[in-house]
Structure 1
Amino acid sequence: MTIDQTPLSIGIVCASLSRAAGGILPIMQAHASQFTARGNQVVAYGVEDACSEADRASWAPVSPRIAAPIVKRFAYAPAMARDLDQASHHILHQHGLWLYPSVAVSRWRRRTGRPVVISTQGMLEPWALANARVKKKVAAALFERANLSSAACIHCSEAEVPGIRAFGLRNPVAVIPNGASLPDPTLRRPRPAWLPDDGKRTLLFLGRLHPKKGIKESLDAWSVLRTQAPHVAANWRLVVAGWDDGGHAEAFIAHARALGLSDVIFPGAVFGEAKEAAFAHADAFLLGSYSEGFPMAVLEAWSHGLPVFMTRECNIPEGFQQGAAVEVTTAPASQAHVLAQHLAGPDLPKIGARGRALVARRFSWSSVADELLSTYAWLLGDGSRPSSVTLD
């Protein structure tokens, strides 16, 4: 997408440009890759964290600009604002809320008068707003409500729109999903060292280890399943993979031990090829979350042909509509009943195949990038309003 045949200059802004950003990282990197492949210039701006240098190369061909923080918890890095002051982007695309990058983005918008797109990433969902509620109310009053209200467009999933409107925002909203890449089904990846080759099938959770993800409830459900459906538990294992967000991992591991779930595996964080191998050697995927924007892990599971068990709060209703997902709740007894019923059934391969087909048809990164670039062009006065953008 170009303006008067000139490539766009696009700034991508987030508190973290590393694996510390969780599922937001592959989203931003996919956007950057698709935009640069179409001849646009992309610069990514973030704040330094423990994984910044290790993950810098994964942004290639984009060279991230990583600012050193003065206050790490708030991602307060004045150097980010200075970097943006020196930039001449046509548009900024911010990912995530509540931290200093919002302040830096607002400053850029006021200085340049150019459009800002903000991806809320599920952070205006009711559960998310209730978590650390006081801090978010303060942040909203000090800077975030003004930042959001002044954005040229809010980018989100369809299920997030009610929460955005309930927050009082009346901006144009671009309803554009995330995407995923389809791995080569003939590629054989080595079995992870932490996964025993004992004939058991694997139910995988993969994401950040945080109470929002319903991990404790899924451990409780697994305990119920082992008691009420031992014939199912005998053939399956539960793997809880992911990075520790906020020091919760130890509590989850202790809870599993207290329940006597000695066979539940906690391999820790898995990224890159290790993550692909985890998906490749799993047989089903579980995300019993309380709140999501549009979870990348579900799309990645589908791309590997895995049947998905997820809550309605994962905000991908297409999965249920197309028979690519089975609905669970966060209630352990109910979740255990659904898992027992389907893990023992014959339909898992068909459910997984429908998920892979859904990704290929609806959630390709190429189509996502086309919709975003059309939105950017409209905001810059070079095209009509895309059908994905709503004004009410």
Structure 2
Amino acid sequence: MNPAAGGPCQGIRNSIPSLLTLGCESEVVCMDAPNETFGMDDPFIVHRIGRSRGPWAYSSGLLPWLMQNLTGYDAVIIHGLWLYHSYAVTRAIKKLSQDRSFALPKVFVMPHGMLDPWFQRDPSRRLKAIRNWFVWKLVEQRVIARADAVLYTCQKELELAREPFQPYRPQQEINVGYGVAKPPEFDPCFDAAFRTTVPDLDGRPYLLFLSRIHPKKGVDLLLRAYTSVLSRANGLGKVPALVIAGPLDSDYARQMQQFAADLKLSDVHFPGMLSGDAKWGAFYGCDAFVLPSHQENFGIAVVEALACGKPVLISNQVNIYNDIESDGAAYSETDTPEGTESLLRAWLSTNEASRQAMSTKALECYQARYLPAAAAGKFLQAIDRE
């Protein structure tokens, strides 16, 4: 449940409170150390059975825990694929099914974009793609086939999941949508908390990237595009600063910091991972949110920006881009250097009145499409089908 790991754990934290209001209680089992809370006081039970090991995230304690506890639940949701936990759930259900004296829970898989064809097609992932093909043949095709249904965060994710692997035979495919928790109302202390993390901003306007700093997120595209815009800014007015917020403990993040230094981008800032007041200060204070990702099954941070009334500049590989753009709250482009530069130029060429109109539409888009209560209702309906 480490928030630095990305979207699935945040999605779980977004959905459980809304499910509870509908009478559905939830618990989480994860491979965290028993004393790891990551500074978060989660209002639901978390069973931390110890850290996993190796690239498959093997946990010797998971299968025994599942064998002992699974029959106490009505439904089990497998969040994500390609790791030991999906195999362990399927294995436990198969073993428990040999005893017909008790009812088994329904099993659902929520891939969180992990069946997107980008992961198999991107040249930088060739070895991982080969590994995934073998894991699919040995494990994951059975996980998908034996689950009662596969749950997707949007229709585009559902459709793309059919492409990369065969045989692909889910019993049901259900688009349950995704809800994102409403942010706290703006408080001046948010801005103060954020500005202390980036003191060199000195009150200047900025564009915000807030996500994992990972190759699929297009950070290199963003830095190149920002450099190009700075060098040819005639007629665009003053170019705002660029804040790239995300964990800095990976090789890729360090490479991007060095890349920005090599490009002599003095107005690009890497404050690290932001949370709490500083995170919301970053969202509320930015001119716009930018994410030129190569693959995004949903994009929680994109929706968090909308919820703060911020227009978003995103690639057309963010699976919900079309809905947001049709609502007038986004500019979208291809996930290329040229496309990313076009995003920045489109925003810088937008007059203040149009920017304000996009901000209003951003909040309206969030309220119409991504409130947690509506998504929780669809989710509960999906897992409660007979």
Shorter-chain TM-score category? Answer: 0.7 to 0.9
Identical positions, percent: 26
Q: 2:131 aligns with which of 130, 135, 144?
A: 135
Three-state SS of the structure 2 residue aligned to 1:290 is: coil
Q: 1:267 aligns with which of 257, 268, 271?
A: 271
Q: 2:238 aligns with which of 234, 237, 252?
A: 234
Determine if contact 1:117/1:155 at 8 Å carries over to the other structure.
Answer: yes
Q: Which moved more, 1:32-41 or 1:19-28?
A: 32-41
Q: 1:310 aligns with which of 314, 330, 337?
A: 314
Q: Which residue of 1 aligns with 2:187?
A: 187
How many aligned positions are there?
361
Q: Which residue of 1 aligns with 2:38?
A: 55
Q: 2:144 aligns with which of 136, 145, 148?
A: 148
Instruction: Normalising by structure 1, report the TM-score.
Output: 0.86
Pairing 1:64–2:46 present: yes
State the Cα distance separating 1:31 from its structure 2 match.
1.9
Q: Which residue of 1 aligns with 2:362?
A: 355
Q: Which residue of 2 aligns with 1:171?
A: 171
State the Cα distance separating 1:242 from its structure 2 match.
0.7
Three-state SS of the structure 1 residue aligned to 2:375 is: helix
State the Cα distance separating 1:231 from its structure 2 match.
6.0
Q: Which runs of 5+ in 2 are unaligned?
A: 98-103
State the Cα distance separating 1:251 from its structure 2 match.
0.5
Cα separation, 2, equivalents of 1:323 and 1:245: 36
Cα separation, 2, equivalents of 1:377 and 1:295: 26
Pairing 1:75–2:76 present: no
Three-state SS of the structure 2 residue aligned to 1:205 is: strand
Three-state SS of the structure 2 residue aligned to 1:262 is: coil
Amino acid at match of 1:190: D
State the Cα distance separating 1:198 from its structure 2 match.
3.6
Determine if contact 1:210/1:245 at 8 Å carries over to the other structure.
Answer: no
Cα separation, 2, equivalents of 1:276 and 1:254: 27
Amino acid at match of 1:326: Y
Q: 1:340 aligns with which of 322, 327, 345?
A: 345
Q: Which moved more, 1:284-293 or 1:123-132?
A: 123-132
Q: Which residue of 2 aligns with 1:85?
A: 67
Pairing 1:256–2:260 present: yes
State the Cα distance separating 1:354 from its structure 2 match.
1.0
Residues 52 and 300 of structure 1: CA distance in aligned 2, closer, same or farther (over 3 Å): farther
Q: Which moved more, 1:166-175 or 1:142-151?
A: 166-175
Q: Which residue of 2 aligns with 1:320?
A: 325
TM-align CA RMSD: 2.1
Cα separation, 2, equivalents of 1:245 and 1:145: 33
Q: Which residue of 2 aligns with 1:104?
A: 88
Three-state SS of the structure 1 residue aligned to 2:256 is: helix
Q: Which moved more, 1:254-263 or 1:345-354?
A: 345-354
Amino acid at match of 1:81: L
Determine if contact 2:14/2:181 at 8 Å carries over to the other structure.
Answer: no
Q: Which runs of 5+ in 1 are unaligned?
A: 1-16, 382-392
Three-state SS of the structure 2 residue aligned to 1:94 is: strand
Three-state SS of the structure 2 residue aligned to 1:298 is: helix
State the Cα distance separating 1:367 from its structure 2 match.
0.7
Determine if contact 1:18/1:52 at 8 Å carries over to the other structure.
Answer: no
Determine if contact 2:239/2:348 at 8 Å carries over to the other structure.
Answer: no
Q: Which residue of 1 aligns with 2:225?
A: 221
Instruction: Normalising by structure 2, report the TM-score.
Output: 0.87
